[in-house]
Structure 1
Amino acid sequence: MLLYIQNQLPCILKNAAIKLSSFLFLSKYNFVKRLIHQSDSRIIQKCYIRHTEMKEAIFIVLAASMLWLAACTPQTDLTYTQDIAPIIYQNCTPCHRSGGAAPFSLTEYQHVFRKKKTILAVTQRGLMPPWPADRNYSHFLGERYLSDSDKDKLKRWIEGGAPEGDLSLLPSLPSYPEFSSIGKPDTTLWFDSILIKGNSRDKFYIATLPIELSKDKFVRAMEFLPNQNNLVHHMNGRLLNYDEDKKANIKSGKRLLNLETDEDDYLQQFNALNLANDDGSRPSQINSAVNYLPGVQAQLYPEEIGGFTMHKKSILLADDIHFGPIPQDKWDHSRVNIFFSKTPPKRPINEVMMGTNGASKIIPPLIIPANEITTHTTFLKIPQDISILTINPHMHLLGKSFKAYAITPNQDTIRLISIPKWDFRWQYFYTFPKMLKIPAQSVIYVKATFDNTTHNYNNPNNPPKEIRERLDNGGAGMRTTDEMLQFIITWLPYQMDDENLSLEAK
């Protein structure tokens, strides 16, 4: 009933205003008329009628105003400052802030109030904050999720009028580095700008970034930040290290190679990047010096873990940068943050990739017929004791679910990750809270399901058509509309007590 009255308040107030306006006009008219016709008894009757109408109008206005005030008065004891801000700061502002990955900020009450309907919808449906991994299966650092209690608080606060509360109780906004997810970088470098053509096709480029330092330095981490973060699907970066006497000019080559070219022209253009030493030999390289996927934040391990040496002369080779299809031209001007270390890396990390282009075959081959849901597996035996730090599942638009686990020689199961509802937009590098020991001779299994039917709203083809992984030259196997099944594992040779070593950066 109250909701109905609230909806009718504008109409009620309008009618009351009309009555008051009419009364004021006719009152003036009747006053003049009384002066002319003092003897007319009907004046008394008319004045009585107008007086009655005035009382009615005033009563309506007062009643409506009281209802209006009641409707505007918060109907909840929850406030932003005391109850909601802690939830927002913990789960939303790491991305929803100036310089963050999200399209709008939620760092202030006014921001949250304006977006309250959107916040209510996406939190109640479980769309935000994004965390695809099943928390009942395994746990990782940086998990962002809302408990049932958090969801209930948000719902009751928004539906109760979203009051701000006592400003003295507002917690301090966490301190975030600008244009970084892990801290203030020691230096930031930019790739050359890339014009992304708006022809609704995937774009693939190789880009180079020459780096000159005053001396060799130890690198703790590198972080890639796309300018068009809603367009960049992935970036894989290798660091090429040059000895001073083997490469006179690291800036002599081309900076950009379009991979949408035929094979002969591709080889010619690749050579034009001039990545070899002056004598034609290859420089040393650091694989996976920096990578990027949607939703991925750079990983900063504890000081003694990971890292590498960057020579005085080096080239960061982004091979490749993948931009998704767009209808209009846009420019991208991506940057790289570099975090140096004063000490050399004690335990350099290793990486193994299972599945597409990796160390293990996919069974059956990754061919997904139209209008079918298929399941594929891949497995890899581990020859030595290892400690896993980070894992990264990867599929494209037909992905439906993903699970990975290890079976030890004693037939024990070690859970790695389960993603029951795959979401192409959110593909994290998941880091365990502590190193995870995998005994020698264990087998790591990956099981993934793909949905190539019309029930998959992400299906790029309507009607569906056969989709498979493509491993041909020129990056074609990386297209969004093709498929991949990969599981990337970052690991170290096991050392005593690794399983008790926290991976949170200090």
Structure 2
Amino acid sequence: MNNCPPAPHFTEGWQIGPPDKTVQMPQSYRLAPGGGDVFRNFVIPVNLKETKYVRAIELRPGNKRVVHHANIWIDHRQSLRRRDGEDGQPGFPGMENVSTEARSDSFDPDSHFLFWKPGSVITPEPDGMSWRLDPGTDLILNLHLQPSGKEETIQPVIGFYFTSQPPRLQPMLVQLENDGAIDIQPGAREVSVTDHVALPVGVEVLAVYPHAHYLGKQVEAWATLPDGARIPLIKIADWDINWQGVYTYRKPVWLPKGSSVEMRITYDNSDSNPRNPNHPPRRVRTGPRSEDEMGHVWLQVLPKRESAEDPRMALQEAVMRRRLDKYPGDFVAHCNLGALQTMRGQFQEAVSNFEQALRIQPASATARNGLGAGLLAEGRVDDAIRELRETLRVDPAHLNARWNLSKALVRKGDSVGAAAELETYLKQNWPWFTSCNAATTPPFRISRKRFGCGRRMRRFEPTWVRFWQARAIWRLPFSHSRRR
């Protein structure tokens, strides 16, 4: 026993001190006393008034007896609020396969693993690797819950630790998966799915997070270098969902441009698999329920900049094109490619991808706003106005669509309509706007002494400057009517 390491010490309360901000599930959730494991997602509004940079995050589950593990996802567009309570209870069912809508107006891919299990030690991000949290963002808290034999109530709290320093280093999460190929017949013992992505830029691999359900038997991921050499990234010979977690490398694994990252997950759907939830075994396909299956290996990578373009954009394009190889007509791939092409000025290609995305999901405000912006950039003003108005009909709070519509109305010569859209834009963007009566004051009466300097104005400067610059450049009329 003398050679045993010391027992771990678990801190009571917040591990690294009081957080700068806490958020809590709006409603508690009651877990039934019996039945199987429950996998559920809860929508938690963050309610920020300005952009923050996060250096650490801690989940306090509140009821450790029943919370097995948790993932936190960032919903930039609040796109999953519509599912909250869809079955009459807080949240909505499903495992880790949470699909949120990306923004069409900025490139900010998922970058950090936000994972918790009992005993997790909170480690602040390295210098320069904070992550951005914007107003209008929701957290999606994905919980794996295990009944205890009596009714339990849970209402977790999440604490944020902020830093004033924006990120200098910008990692990205790359997902290897082939869920569409999962179709496991009863009794099958050696069924594998594979995936690969060719790297268009060199990357450092920082961490890995594999995920499968109860039929998972073996998980393996590796990299093949341009010279054919193979570098193992992870191998779990006896997969157990109860022990899943994020694995961080002691030293980042360097993979040069032209390498390929690959994964293989093997499943056992026989009676001899002690974790098989079905006796007798039944056919299992992919899906978000615990009795379905998944096969994911997530990599956190730090791309190397080789040109003026953000290297994450090339990596995102490679991932999305690989996704289209697997799933022709995929909404996520078309929408993300459209956003990338818009940022690159490839508007004709962007319009095509957004149109294909909308054929798959006609109600997507994100894709329709992207289409409107692309049409406007091509000079198709009337078409752009039509699409942007439809975006705002579907989602009246879609700020970027309102901004784009104001630009389109200026191009059309409707300065009054553009001014009205701009005023609505700013009113929706910052709740404090009407309270300080700035919206009712002509721009020449907004003194620099009051708003041009000082802590309060600097906090809101990007949106404020965007508003007044647009008015000045577009020579829009100003409404003197008081808002109430």
Q: TM-score, normalised by structure 1?
A: 0.50
Kept in 1, the 8 Å contact 2:130–2:165? The answer is: no
Deviation at residue 435 of structure 1 after TM alignment? 1.7
Moved runs in structure 1, 4+ residues, more than 6 A? 253-256, 280-286
Task: Indicate whether 1:88 and 2:6 are aligned.
Answer: yes
Alpha-carbon distance in 1 for matches of 2:238, 2:153:
33
Task: Indicate whether 1:306 and 2:306 are aligned.
Answer: no
Kept in 2, the 8 Å contact 1:238–1:290? The answer is: no
Q: Which of 43, 46, 61 in structure 2 is aligned with 1:208?
A: 43
Kept in 2, the 8 Å contact 1:190–1:334? The answer is: yes
Kept in 1, the 8 Å contact 2:111–2:171? The answer is: no
Match of 2:183 in 1: 367
Task: Indicate whether 1:187 and 2:21 are aligned.
Answer: yes
Q: Which of 419, 439, 456 in structure 1 is aligned with 2:236?
A: 419
Deviation at residue 406 of structure 1 after TM alignment? 0.5
Task: Indicate whether 1:318 and 2:140 are aligned.
Answer: yes
Q: 1:410 to 1:183 in 2, by over 3 A?
A: farther
Kept in 1, the 8 Å contact 2:220–2:265? The answer is: yes
- Name the amino acid aligned to 2:214: L
Kept in 1, the 8 Å contact 2:221–2:262? The answer is: yes
Alpha-carbon distance in 2 for matches of 1:185, 1:398:
39
User: What is the aligned-residue identity percentage?
Assistant: 24
Deviation at residue 214 of structure 1 after TM alignment? 6.7
Alpha-carbon distance in 1 for matches of 2:44, 2:265:
36
Question: Structure 1 regions of 5+ residues with no counterpart?
Answer: 1-77, 98-175, 243-252, 267-274, 471-476, 497-506
Q: 1:177 to 1:320 in 2, by over 3 A?
A: closer
Deviation at residue 467 of structure 1 after TM alignment? 1.6
- Name the amino acid aligned to 2:231: I
Deviations 1:122-150 (A, max 9, x none): xxxxxxxxxxxxxxxxxxxxxxxxxxxxx
Kept in 2, the 8 Å contact 1:386–1:492? The answer is: yes
Deviation at residue 256 of structure 1 after TM alignment? 8.0
Task: Indicate whether 1:257 and 2:84 are aligned.
Answer: yes
Q: 1:240 to 1:375 in 2, by over 3 A?
A: same
Which segment drifts farther, 348-357 or 433-442? 348-357
Kept in 2, the 8 Å contact 1:241–1:310? The answer is: no
Q: 1:281 to 1:448 in 2, by over 3 A?
A: closer
Match of 1:332 in 2: 154
DSSP-derived class of the 1:425 partner: helix
Match of 1:493 in 2: 303
Alpha-carbon distance in 2 for matches of 1:430, 1:188:
26
Q: TM-score, normalised by structure 2?
A: 0.52
Deviation at residue 409 of structure 1 after TM alignment? 1.1
Q: 1:458 to 1:439 in 2, by over 3 A?
A: same
- Which one has a larger percent helix, Structure 1 or Structure 2? 2
Alpha-carbon distance in 1 for matches of 2:157, 2:127:
26
Task: Indicate whether 1:238 and 2:60 are aligned.
Answer: no
Kept in 2, the 8 Å contact 1:198–1:328? The answer is: yes
Q: 1:204 to 1:402 in 2, by over 3 A?
A: closer
Q: 1:403 to 1:283 in 2, by over 3 A?
A: closer
Kept in 1, the 8 Å contact 2:174–2:300? The answer is: yes
Deviation at residue 292 of structure 1 after TM alignment? 2.9
Alpha-carbon distance in 2 for matches of 1:426, 1:491:
23
Kept in 1, the 8 Å contact 2:112–2:171? The answer is: no
Deviation at residue 426 of structure 1 after TM alignment? 1.0
- Name the amino acid aligned to 1:235: N
Alpha-carbon distance in 2 for matches of 1:282, 1:232:
37
Deviation at residue 328 of structure 1 after TM alignment? 4.0
Alpha-carbon distance in 1 for matches of 2:61, 2:254:
34
Q: 1:385 to 1:284 in 2, by over 3 A?
A: closer
Alpha-carbon distance in 1 for matches of 2:18, 2:47:
20
Q: 1:326 to 1:257 in 2, by over 3 A?
A: farther
Q: 1:283 to 1:241 in 2, by over 3 A?
A: farther
DSSP-derived class of the 1:373 partner: coil
Match of 1:348 in 2: 170
Q: 1:293 to 1:260 in 2, by over 3 A?
A: farther
Q: Which of 209, 223, 229 in structure 1 is aligned with 2:58?
A: 223
Deviations 1:182-220 (A, max 9, x none): 666433332232122345255454433333457543211
Kept in 2, the 8 Å contact 1:399–1:451? The answer is: yes
Alpha-carbon distance in 2 for matches of 1:450, 1:208:
32
Kept in 1, the 8 Å contact 2:204–2:252? The answer is: yes
Kept in 1, the 8 Å contact 2:112–2:300? The answer is: no
Kept in 1, the 8 Å contact 2:184–2:191? The answer is: no
Kept in 2, the 8 Å contact 1:238–1:286? The answer is: no
Alpha-carbon distance in 2 for matches of 1:326, 1:258:
23
DSSP-derived class of the 1:87 partner: coil
Kept in 1, the 8 Å contact 2:111–2:131? The answer is: no
Deviations 1:398-453 (A, max 9, x none): 11111111111101111101111212111111111122111112111212221222
- Count of residue pairs the alignment pairs up: 293
Match of 1:458 in 2: 275
Match of 1:388 in 2: 205
DSSP-derived class of the 2:5 partner: helix
Deviation at residue 490 of structure 1 after TM alignment? 0.9
Match of 1:172 in 2: none
Match of 1:197 in 2: 32
Deviation at residue 334 of structure 1 after TM alignment? 0.8
Alpha-carbon distance in 1 for matches of 2:279, 2:161:
46
Kept in 1, the 8 Å contact 2:224–2:259? The answer is: yes
Task: Name which one, 1 or 2, has greater alpha-carbon Rg.
Answer: 1
Deviation at residue 299 of structure 1 after TM alignment? 6.5
DSSP-derived class of the 1:345 partner: coil
Deviation at residue 486 of structure 1 after TM alignment? 0.3
Match of 1:444 in 2: 261
Q: What root-mean-square deviation, in Å, do the aligned CA atoms of Structure 1 and Structure 2 show?
A: 3.8
Alpha-carbon distance in 1 for matches of 2:292, 2:229:
35
Alpha-carbon distance in 1 for matches of 2:274, 2:300:
32
Alpha-carbon distance in 2 for matches of 1:219, 1:241:
19
Q: 1:427 to 1:184 in 2, by over 3 A?
A: farther
- Name the amino acid aligned to 1:87: P
Match of 1:379 in 2: 196
Kept in 2, the 8 Å contact 1:205–1:259? The answer is: no
Deviation at residue 338 of structure 1 after TM alignment? 1.0
Alpha-carbon distance in 2 for matches of 1:298, 1:282:
35
